[in-house]
Amino acid sequence: MRRVRLLWGMLEAGLVAGLALSCWLTAGASAANALQPPTPFPTPTPNEQGQIIYVTQKGDTLWRIAAIAGMTVEELMALNGISSSDILSEGAELLLGSVIPTPRPEERATPTPLQATPTPPVGTGEICVLLFLDLNGNARVDAGEGPLAQGQVSVVARGGSLVGEHTTDETPEGYCFTDVQDGDYNVSAAVPPEHNATTSMNVPVRLRPGDIHYVEFGAQPSAALQAAGQDEAEQRSPLLGVVGLVLLGAAGVLGYQASRHTQQRPTLGR
């Protein structure tokens, strides 16, 4: 009996020692786990808006994510608008913070170099004007049609300033306005009295440096002037007839006198 009690006591002591050792080992393991730092992870790259986003993995908790991100759980929940009772699902995105994105250099289009605009030449030219007698009225100079005197030609700039004017004469080449500055002009003509224009009396001209422009205006006698010429011709016709009759009569008288004189002359030798 005494031996049995001794064995039972030794068994109890062994059980107590085993339990104590088991508790000590469990506490040591828990402490080691508690002191072990969280597994580090590479910091996510900020997106275009400067936000640092973490995608949750299997087994993640708010405490673990906050610890590895270097913030408190409260800060993590405030950034994402969640509470401790929310369940994290694998693949969820959590905002860990934000940074100010570095502004990209502004892309500016390379300006196209401006080409120098060529300076237009500046100079003078001539405008030559002829007012001709258009006998057949076909608006062009034909053989036998010459210059018409006592008309008026002028050159006026586009702005209205008078460049020059001239009274026409019988010069076959007409009249030339020289040293006229290049530009736009209006050339016009006025016919002499008792004449009608057979062409347009206003011609626009664009003069460039070194140009010589020739402008022709035509006119023909009016009906009144032609009628006056016919009347004068008709008045001359009777007068010429009378003169012709007088001359014819005088010739007849002279012939008669000469004939009588020949008949009355004595014949030599009788």
Q: What is the pLDDT of residue 29?
A: 46
Residue of 139, 146, 240 lying closest to 196 (CA atoms): 139
Q: What is the band of 207 on the pLDDT scale with cuts at 50, 70, 90?
A: very high
Q: What is the pLDDT of residue 36?
A: 47
- Report the distance separating Cα 206 and Cα 228, nearest Å: 42
Residue-wise pLDDT for 104-153, tens only, equals 677 777 777 777 666 666 799 999 999 999 999 999 989 889 999 999 99
Examine the pLDDT at 175 and tell me if it is beyond 90: yes
* CATH 2.60.40.10 segments of the chain: 124-223
Q: What is the pLDDT of residue 17?
A: 54
Please state which architecture CATH assigns to domain 124-223.
Sandwich (2.60)
* CATH 3.10.350.10 segments of the chain: 34-100
CATH of domain 34-100: 3.10.350.10
Burial of 144 (0-12, 13-18, 19+ CB in 10 A): exposed
Q: What is the band of 5 on the pLDDT scale with cuts at 50, 70, 90?
A: low
Mean pLDDT of all residues belonging to the chain: 76
Which residue did the predictor score with more confidence, 69 or 188? 188
Residue-wise pLDDT for 177-189, tens only, equals 999 999 999 999 9
